[in-house]
A and B are shown apart, each in its own frame.
Chain A
Amino acid sequence: VIRASRFEIKSDLQGDGARLTLTGELDIATVSRVEDAVAAVLAKGARGLIVDLSRLAFVDSSGLRLFIALNDRASAEGWTLGLISPPEPASAVFQITGAQENLPFIEDPSP
């Protein structure tokens, strides 16, 4: 039994811009919920997606893999992805893997 992580997703869709705000721990137990939330906003016609990770306390390698996959998918499907970086120490997985330089991290446009 994988324990249930404390994790929440807030989803906002305005026009074709969507913002998912993730709070808590993003790991193998919660990744699929982000996948579902992304699928939901894309299905509603979002063409630009910002995933706000600034409230995450932890991200593991499955979380990292999710963003790599989303980034590849955005390129292939022609929509845009922006990630707002999590604070330390949740950002560690991005720093040690070179993801910080390779994934589309942006400054928060609406802080």
Chain B
Amino acid sequence: MDIGQARAILDLAHSAFISIDEEGLIVYWNVRAEEIFGLTREEAVGRVLADTVIPERLRASHWEGLRRFCETGEGPVLNKRLEMTALRSDGSEFPVELTISALSEPEGWSFHAFIADISERARLEQERQLLLDELKLALRGTEQRLAVIVDALGEAVTIRGPDDNLIHANRAALDRMGLASVDELRRADPRELMEGWETVGEDGSPIRMEDLPSVRALRGEDPEPLMMRSVHRGTGEEQWVVLKATAVRDASGSIEAAVTIIEDVTSAKRSALRMEFLARASQVLASSLDYQQTLRNVAGLAVPQIADWCGVELFDDEGGREQVGVAHVDPSKLEMAERLRAFGPEELDPEQGLGLVRRTGEPVLYGDIPDELLVEAAVDDEHLELLRAVGMRAVLIVPMVARSRTIGALTLVSAESARAFDQSDVEFAEQIAERAALAVDNARLYSERSEVARTLQSSLLPEALPDLPGWEIAALYRPAGHESEVGGDFYDFWEVGGDWLMLIGDVTGKGVGAATVTSLVRHTAWAASDFDRRPAAILSRVDAALKRRPSLSVCTALCLRISEGRGTLASGGHPLPLHLGEHGVNEAGRHGTLLGAFSSVDWPETPFEMQPGETLVAFTDGVTDTVGEGDERFGLGRLKEILAHTQNESPMVIRERLVAALEEFQVGAQADDTAIVIMRFTGARTAAGSAEKISSVTGAKG
């Protein structure tokens, strides 16, 4: 940029800009300088600066400074903001602020100054000084003295006298209270004045006059700042304020007044509350897939900070609706909501309220609910009475939209808090509703799966344990911790030709796929038993059926054929049952091949005979694989040990002992299904026979 361009720019500057050379002669003078000093550029350039803009009494120091800089390079006034008095061409003086810099150029040093006329600023300062002087003059009598001081403050300030009456408020405070003058304030009863607002603390508890910091200060306490929410009963305007009070003492030290500074923190507090609410709501929404419960929880979070009432309604596809949650900070009021619900119309009016929100998918805000509206809406006198009792001031209904469908609505009602809703409330409520809708949508998808799962699961277990002559039976089924998935464990009893068959198994894998396999296994086993009741034959048929499936379907199964106290058993890769008898706790039977997995198979059958009072316990690996502290597994050893201490106990008791032991051992969620079948032979009808006594594979006592 050349000098010409630079000067063109400098002519646009708001400050005057003046350059001088080493001799103190003016070499540049911009447009603003012309205005401030009243000299044109042509007149100024070439003149001695000191004689032009510096009052005569200050010129010597200017020359001294210039000389010293050129000799020593020391320029204590350079590059900093200075305030000085300058001289106009008409001889008048005025205050300026300036910054001087020095530049080394081929022909020598040059000096440049930006100069601003600060006459206006100086005038204001002078006025402030005058005000202070007036204040000092006014310092006569406490009240007056205080009043004068607080009126000069921008924040709302009130002064309360020893009798708790407000004796002064500055303009900001009067505006807050809706009062025209201090006289009006003094005439008012302080309690009545406070009654104009619904005031509650941060925790929602009402603030009484005795709680106000100013009143406490008057009592000689040293009150903490108080944050409170005040809602004007007339306008519904909500404000959050922090009250800080200090006592004012007279010369003798006795309290003569309390000064309260009222800080309006509404926007900060609202946004903090909303962030907090959203964070908590998001957490609640993500925490559970039981969406009805979740929505109730979200409704609960909304009161009382966001609204006095919060209701959540879900719509179905047939035009019906269901209120899934309604919350109020006072539980006794919930009964009122319950009664109101009974008056809800069968069909929603698509032109108003919920019906309108449902039809349009847009929020609806009723900022004012006049009594006529209630009269119009009420179906009978009782209804009207209820509606009036709720005392609705404002109602805000926002849609819950998921995947472009309005699946429900969130209704926020302002009642006893008397606060009005504004646009920011609408936007905020929409945010909540959006999150809630998403949670419901997710939960519904999940819930449908879960429903399928429950149906399947119940179809996979016998409805009731059979009444086997001479046997007492207890069974336990504990599905793994993931609700939506059908477990792979199953057990079943059925009778064929006077014999009883028991099948317990574990299909590897989870969910609907595993349920299908379970179903196949059971049906195949039932069908197979019509032809051949031997356990090995049944397992063989199941194995073949599983292998015909297109995808890998494997299953462990233990099959018992029981005829009074005797029987045979075979295992298809399933843990062997434990026999509780006079020789302790021992595994019964021999291992056989997993079903559906391998080409080379073997299912050895083992006969058994039970003595009266002896028990067989069949289980799935969910029992032994249960994880405890330090990743330790429950294991067969522990199972045997527990059973060893249950000799002569009934199957019910054994089951309870096992459940207790498993629950005590288990750490974290249950990872796998657990099924246990406990069968005790009572010996009611023991047939004589030649079957071997139960054989033991490990022979180990637990």
Contacts and interface: CB of A to CB of B under 8 A. Distances in A.
Decide whether A and B are members of one complex: yes
Interface of A: 1-3, 5-6, 25, 27-29, 57-58, 60-62, 64-65, 68-69, 72, 89, 93, 95-99, 101-102
B599 interface: yes
Contacts of B593: 97-98, 102
B588 to A, nearest CB: 13
Interface string B291-326: 000000000000000000000000000000000000
Given A65-B554, A69-B552, A97 B597 contact: yes
Contacts of B598: 68, 98-99, 101-102
A64 B508 CA distance: 9
23 contacts: A2-B481, A2-B668, A3-B627, A3-B671, A5-B631, A25-B631, A28-B671, A28-B672, A58-B625, A60-B621, A60-B625, A64-B508, A64-B554, A65-B552, A68-B598, A96-B576, A97-B591, A98-B598, A99-B573, A99-B594, A101-B600, A102-B597, A102-B598
Contact of B591 (A1, A5, A25, A98): A98
B633 A58 contact: yes
B509 A65 contact: yes
B575 interface: yes
Interface string B576-598: 10000000000000011110011
Interface in B507-555: 508-509, 552, 554
Interface string B346-364: 0000000000000000000
B556 A97 contact: yes
Given A27-B625, A64-B594, A69-B552, 19 more contacts: A3-B669, A62-B508, A62-B509, A64-B554, A65-B509, A65-B552, A65-B554, A89-B635, A95-B591, A96-B573, A96-B575, A96-B576, A97-B591, A97-B593, A98-B594, A98-B598, A99-B573, A99-B594, A99-B598
Nearest to A67: B597
B556 A61 contact: yes
A40 B570 CA distance: 40
Nearest to B603: A98
A98 B668 contact: no
A45 to B, nearest CB: 25
Contacts of A3: 627, 667-669, 671
A2 B671 contact: yes
A61 B621 CA distance: 8
Given A97-B593, A98-B591, A98-B601, A6 B631 contact: yes
A27 B554 contact: no
Contact of A99 (B597, B625, B667): B597
B244 interface: no
B609 interface: no
Contacts of B601: 98
Contacts of B594: 64, 68, 97-99
Contacts of B668: 1-3
B540 to A, nearest CB: 13
Contacts of B602: 98
8 A-B pairs with least C-beta separation:
A97-B573, A98-B593, A102-B598, A97-B594, A3-B668, A65-B508, A96-B591, A68-B597
Contacts of A5: 631
A62 B622 CA distance: 12
Contacts of A102: 593, 597-600
B194 to A, nearest CB: 51
A89 B625 CA distance: 12
A97 B669 CA distance: 27
A2 to B, nearest CB: 5
B232 interface: no
A72 B643 CA distance: 39
B640 interface: no
B680 interface: no
B419 interface: no
A111 to B, nearest CB: 27
A84 to B, nearest CB: 19
Given A96-B591, A97-B597, A60 B672 contact: yes
Nearest to B670: A2
| Among A1, A57, A58, A98, residue most surrounded by chain B Cβ atoms (within 10 Å) | A98
A27 B622 CA distance: 12
B53 to A, nearest CB: 80
B508 A98 contact: no
Nearest to A7: B631
B566 interface: no
Nearest to B637: A89
B171 to A, nearest CB: 60
Contact of A68 (B554, B591, B631, B671): B554
Contacts of A60: 621, 625, 672
Given A2-B671, A6-B631, A29-B671, A96 B574 contact: yes
B430 interface: no
A29 B597 CA distance: 22
Nearest to A1: B669
A60 B667 CA distance: 17
A84 B575 CA distance: 23
Contacts of B481: 1-2
B506 interface: yes
A5 B672 CA distance: 14
Given A64-B508, A65-B508, A98 B552 contact: no
Interface string B617-633: 00001000101000101
A5 to B, nearest CB: 7
B552 A68 contact: yes
Contacts of A69: 552
A3 B600 CA distance: 36
B574 to A, nearest CB: 7
Interface in B340-398: none
A59 B99 CA distance: 82
Contacts of B508: 61-62, 64-65
B514 to A, nearest CB: 11
Nearest to B506: A61
A13 B420 CA distance: 70
Contact of B592 (A6, A27, A93, A98): A98
A61 B573 CA distance: 10
| Among B509, B593, B599, B671, residue most surrounded by chain A Cβ atoms (within 10 Å) | B671
A58 to B, nearest CB: 6
B76 to A, nearest CB: 70
B224 to A, nearest CB: 42
Nearest to A65: B508
A98 B573 contact: yes
B503 to A, nearest CB: 17
A89 B635 CA distance: 10
Contacts of B627: 3
Given A64-B594, A98-B592, A102-B599, A72 B552 contact: yes
A2 B633 CA distance: 14
Contacts of A98: 573, 591-594, 597-598, 600-602
Contacts of B554: 64-65, 68
A80 B601 CA distance: 22
A29 B481 CA distance: 13
